């Protein structure tokens, strides 16, 4: 049953009325009559009022507006110490600070601040680390089972060479192996449960931050950002600490030498199961360090002449009727996705190129972009809509009608850029923000400061700033019918050229390029995507005959 929110002013007069609005400044509910008075009063008419339903969405967000030391309202903010202050904190500890400002001033436009964006990125990075740990534990469990299976095979092969006297010894030995295997698996399960609990906690924080950003006041967002950031930091430290205790297991089979001599019953044991624990080669990424390292690695490769590709794996696409591959993506866990514009399925493959299965979607999918650890966005071309899709649960989070053909799409800075008649910009929840006039006909790739569009009609690739102003335009005879585009951290642009059947990289200034791959048969290159975390590049042709994952090497 939904909790009733009373009207604060009425409750003060010992009158009980249900609130219909919530004032985020006064932090109390208002009935219809009190709401009118609130809007009429000069000191409160500018306060932000939200519906009670919206208030319930942020009611559990861990934000405190009072000083934890003096239990007084937080009214000031010290920029030097990045600390919120009450009237007692100010003279006692920050009297000599020259840059203390009113907290309302500090909280101005907090919902658009980089702090909350960085908080969201920190949550995403921590969720990726948890996913990394979970995948590592699952891989270890599978490896334990594989090692157990291999040892069982060795035992059985050895067992066939000796007489029936070994039956009892074999059973005892197998039990020893099973106990060791179950013991190792139990340790993995214990750590997995801890990771799943932390994952659920961070997912809840992630949802709360989204709701806080959408519905809370600037003050609440400002304080909530910092307070929630502390919770995230504790979770990150907890994961780092726990990861030091993660072990992989190596099973070794040591056979009794007498077994080889076909003993006549003197042997008392089959052998020995040896289990060694060694620290797992697991690297927990720090968000800011990771970004700094990525920038350092890529910025040194300003000249595209130094860029090379190293083949990781070729993907043998499973043919299902008429194939027309128009989009691809690299998921956070490393798996690969391909969209077939001839049916209603996405095709999923492992990083080794092994077919995992298909994901049913709403219509024939055109392009794909990764949003976070759980969700992707899928465009549906001539069907005139795109979706935000939870690929882990195979559920549609939101369907967004565009009213016009909806082709390539890309995600950056928490926004989704979609090629329609113009480039349409949506937030991560599907709310339309603005429309940009850019020459985009098929595909788009967005970075932090720019977006890049392919124009197959004029055989050009254009770079625009985030306001839609053209920065540069590239055209060359080697660039015939450019389709898929993807950018690295430095702003270099990978382009899949359909008619010229090659993959090129255009330098970040749009002045030069390098040819990376040539497709010598009759297949047409179509889609390409780049993973910044792993420096990997995935490309594919229309028929699914040439699909491969490469490591991008920078000098």
Q: Does one domain contain both 520 and 406?
A: yes
CA atoms of 478 and 476, how far apart (whole Å):
5
Domain boundary among 51, 84, 110: 110
pLDDT in tens, 366-394: 999 999 888 999 999 999 999 999 988 88
Query: Do 263 and 453 form a contact (C-beta atoms < 8 A)?
Result: no
Identify the three-state secondary structure at position 46.
coil
Q: Does one domain contain both 85 and 144?
A: no
Is residue 116 situated within a structural domain? Answer: no
Q: Does one domain contain both 136 and 106?
A: no
Is residue 497 situated within a structural domain? Answer: yes
Measure CA of the first residue to CA of the last residue in the chain; give whole Å: 62
Q: Using CB atoms within 10 Å of the CB of residue 12, give its burial: 0 to 12 exposed, 13 to 18 middle, 19+ buried.
A: exposed
What is the rounded (10 degree) CA torsion for 225, 229, 231, 232? 130
pLDDT confidence bin for 292, thresholds 50/70/90:
very low
Instruction: Report CA 261 to chain centroid distance, whole Å.
Output: 58
Q: Does one domain contain both 140 and 276?
A: yes
Q: Nearest 5 degrees, angle CA 293-CA 130-CA 430?
A: 85
pLDDT confidence bin for 294, thresholds 50/70/90:
very low
Q: Which position has the token pair 């956070």?
A: 332
pLDDT in tens, 147-206: 899 888 888 887 676 666 667 777 888 888 888 899 888 888 888 888 888 888 889 988
Identify the three-state secondary structure at position 38.
helix
CA atoms of 520 and 363, how far apart (whole Å):
33
Average pLDDT, the chain: 85
Q: At what angle do helices 114-159 and 218-243 cross, to 10 degrees?
A: 20
pLDDT in tens, 113-162: 777 777 888 888 888 888 888 888 888 888 889 889 988 888 888 767 66
**Would you list the DSSP string of 461-487?**
EEEEETTS-EEEEE--TT--SEEEEEE
pLDDT at residue 163, rounded to an integer: 60
Is residue 254 situated within a structural domain? Answer: yes
Q: Does one domain contain both 422 and 369?
A: yes
Domain boundary among 53, 78, 110: 110
Identify the three-state secondary structure at position 403.
coil
Q: State the average pLDDT over residues 37-45.
A: 89
In which element (H, E) is residue 207 found? helix 166-215
Q: State the average pLDDT over residues 430-459.
A: 90
pLDDT confidence bin for 337, thresholds 50/70/90:
very high
pLDDT at residue 378, rounded to an integer: 96
Q: What is the CA radius of gyration of the chain?
A: 29
CA distances (Å), 50 to each of 31, 41, 47, in order?
Answer: 12, 17, 10
Number of domains in the chain: 3
Instruction: Report CA 190 to chain centroid distance, whole Å.
Output: 25
Q: Nearest 5 degrees, angle CA 444-CA 450-CA 289?
A: 110
Neighbours of 322 (CB within 10 A): 10
CATH label of the domain that carries residue 510: 2.120.10.30
Q: Does one domain contain both 475 and 531?
A: yes
Is residue 303 situated within a structural domain? Answer: no
Stronger pLDDT, 284 or 314, i.e. the higher one:
314
Q: Does one domain contain both 327 and 238?
A: no
Identify any residues that bridge with 336 across adjacent strands, giving them in sequence order. 330, 349
Residue 344 is classified by DSSP as S
pLDDT in tens, 406-421: 999 999 988 999 999 9
CA atoms of 304 and 507, how far apart (whole Å):
6
Q: Does one domain contain both 132 and 268?
A: yes
Max alpha carbon distance in the chain (Å)? 103
Q: Does one domain contain both 82 and 210?
A: no
Residue 6 is classified by DSSP as B
Is residue 304 situated within a structural domain? Answer: no
Q: Does one domain contain both 378 and 468?
A: yes
Is residue 2 situated within a structural domain? Answer: no
Long-range pairs of 539-542 with CB within 8 A, sequence gap ≥ 24: 539/328, 539/484, 539/494, 539/496, 539/503, 540/315, 540/317, 540/325, 540/328, 540/338, 541/325, 542/323, 542/324, 542/325, 542/326, 542/498
* Residue ranges of E strands in 350-414: 355-360, 367-370, 375-379, 385-390, 395-401, 409-412
Q: Does one domain contain both 84 and 199?
A: no
**Share of residues in the chain with pLDDT > 90 (%):** 32
CA atoms of 543 and 539, how far apart (whole Å):
12
pLDDT greater than 60 at residue 234: yes
Q: At what angle do helices 287-299 and 114-159 cross, to 10 degrees?
A: 90
Q: Does one domain contain both 159 and 96?
A: no
Q: Using CB atoms within 10 Å of the CB of residue 54, give its burial: 0 to 12 exposed, 13 to 18 middle, 19+ buried.
A: middle
Domain boundary among 51, 79, 110: 110
Query: Do 383 and 404 form a contact (C-beta atoms < 8 A)?
Result: no
pLDDT in tens, 90-115: 888 888 888 889 888 888 877 777 77
pLDDT at residue 287, rounded to an integer: 52
**12 contacts: CB under 8 Å, gap ≥ 6:** none
User: What are the backbone angles phi and psi of residue 269, rounded to the nearest 5°?
Assistant: -145, 155
CA atoms of 541 and 18, how far apart (whole Å):
61
Note down the domain range covering 235. Answer: 123-285
């Amino acid at each position: 049953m939904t909790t009733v929110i009373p009207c604060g002013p009425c409750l003060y007069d010992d009158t009980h009325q249900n609130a219909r609005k919530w004032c985020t400044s006064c932090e109390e509910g208002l009935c219809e009559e009190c709401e009118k008075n609130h809007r009429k009063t000069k000191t409160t008419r500018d306060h932000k009022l939200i519906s009670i339903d919206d208030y319930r969405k942020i009611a559990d967000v861990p934000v405190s507006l009072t000083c934890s030391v003096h239990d007084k309202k937080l009214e000031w903010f010290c920029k030097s110490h990045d600390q919120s202050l009450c009237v007692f904190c100010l003279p006692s500890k920050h009297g000599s600070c020259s840059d203390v400002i009113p907290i309302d001033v500090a909280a101005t436009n907090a919902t658009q601040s980089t702090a909350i964006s960085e908080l969201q990125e920190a949550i995403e990075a921590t969720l990726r680390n948890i996913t990394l740990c979970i995948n590592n534990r699952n891989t270890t469990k599978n490896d334990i089972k594989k090692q157990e299976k291999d040892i069982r095979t060795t035992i059985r092969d050895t067992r066939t060479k000796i007489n029936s006297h070994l039956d009892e010894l074999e059973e005892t030995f197998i039990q020893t192996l099973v106990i060791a295997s179950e013991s190792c698996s139990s340790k993995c399960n214990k750590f997995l449960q801890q990771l799943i609990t932390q994952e659920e906690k961070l997912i809840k924080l992630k949802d709360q931050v989204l709701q806080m950003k959408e519905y809370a006041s600037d003050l609440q967002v400002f304080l909530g950002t910092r307070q929630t950031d502390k919770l995230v930091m504790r979770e990150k430290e907890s994961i780092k600490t726990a990861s030091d205790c993660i072990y992989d297991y190596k099973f070794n089979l040591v056979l009794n030498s007498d077994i080889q001599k076909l003993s006549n019953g003197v042997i008392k044991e089959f052998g020995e199961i040896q289990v060694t624990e060694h620290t797992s080669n697991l690297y927990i990424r720090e968000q800011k360090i990771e970004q700094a390292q990525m920038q350092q690695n890529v910025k040194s490769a300003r000249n595209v002449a130094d860029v090379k590709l190293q083949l990781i794996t070729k993907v043998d696409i499973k043919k299902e009727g008429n194939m027309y591959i128009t989009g691809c993506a690299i998921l956070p866990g490393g798996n690969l996705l391909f969209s077939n514009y001839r049916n209603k399925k996405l095709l999923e493959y492992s990083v080794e190129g092994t077919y995992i299965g298909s994901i049913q979607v709403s219509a024939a999918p055109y392009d794909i972009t990764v949003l976070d650890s759980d969700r992707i966005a899928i465009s549906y071309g001539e069907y005139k809509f795109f979706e935000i899709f939870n690929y882990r649960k195979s559920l549609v989070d939101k369907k967004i009608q565009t009213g016009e053909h909806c082709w390539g799409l890309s995600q950056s800075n928490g926004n989704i850029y979609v090629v329609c008649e113009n480039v349409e910009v949506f937030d991560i929840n599907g709310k339309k923000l603005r429309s940009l006039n850019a020459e985009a006909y098929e595909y788009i790739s967005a970075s932090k400061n720019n977006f890049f569009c392919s124009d197959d009609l004029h055989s050009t690739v254009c770079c625009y700033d985030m306001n839609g102003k053209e920065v540069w335009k590239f055209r060359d005879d080697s660039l015939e019918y450019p389709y898929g585009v993807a950018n690295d951290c430095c702003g270099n642009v990978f382009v899949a050229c359909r008619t010229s059947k090659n993959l090129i990289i255009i330098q970040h200034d749009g002045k030069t390029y390098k040819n990376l791959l040539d497709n010598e048969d009759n297949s047409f290159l179509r889609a390409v995507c780049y993973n910044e975390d792993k420096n990997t590049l995935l490309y594919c042709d229309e028929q699914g005959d040439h699909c491969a994952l490469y490591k991008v090497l920078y000098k």
